[in-house]
Amino acid sequence: MEVTAGWYMTLAAVLFLIGAGGMLIRRNALMMFMSIELMLNSVNLTFIAAGKELGSLDGQLAVFFVLVVAAAEVVVGLAIIVSVFQSRSSASADELSELRG
């Protein structure tokens, strides 16, 4: 049985779903953040699989930019988490209700 691009797309969908579920279930801001990383990586897999299927390198370059954006996002996000933790000594997203969200 040949492994086609559809298999990789399905795997990426499963990983994205797990990431989205983790984002919704977890209360710890750090774990929510890791779930976001998981979702970003599943999308990267679809980019690579589609790029191979279409015989184009553009998918791989898109992955590069996703990587850069993810790295920038991690830097700022973790800085926010640490800053929140220093002032409230908690990383739980449920306790942050100052903005009535």
Partner 1 sequence: MIELILFIIVAAVAIFGALTVVFARNPVYGAMGLMMTLFSLAVFYVVHLAHLVAAVQVIVYAGAVMTLFLFVIMMIGVDRDEDNTEKLPMQRQFVGALGLVIVLVAGIAAVGGRFDWVRPAASTVEANGTVQEVGKLLFTEWILPFEATSLLLIIAAAGAIALAYFGPRRRDREDA
- Site residues for partner 1, 67-86, by CB under 8 A, read 67-76, 78-83, 85-86
Residue 71 CB, nearest approach to partner 1 (Å): 6
Give the integer Cα–Cα distance in Å for 39 and 62: 15
Give the integer Cα–Cα distance in Å for 15 and 38: 7
User: Using the rule CB under 8 A, is 96 a contact of partner 1?
Assistant: no
Residues 9-48 within binding reach of partner 1 (CB under 8 A): 9-11, 13-15, 17-22, 24-28, 30-31, 33-35, 37-38, 41, 44-45, 48
Contacts of 37 (CB under 8 A, 6+ apart): 19, 70, 74
Residue 97 CB, nearest approach to partner 1 (Å): 14
Q: Are 30 and 91 within 8 A, CB to CB? A: yes
Residues in the chain: 101
H helical segments located in the chain: 5-25, 29-54, 58-88
Residues in binding contact with partner 1, number by CB under 8 A: 74
Residue 66 CB, nearest approach to partner 1 (Å): 10
Residue 100 CB, nearest approach to partner 1 (Å): 16
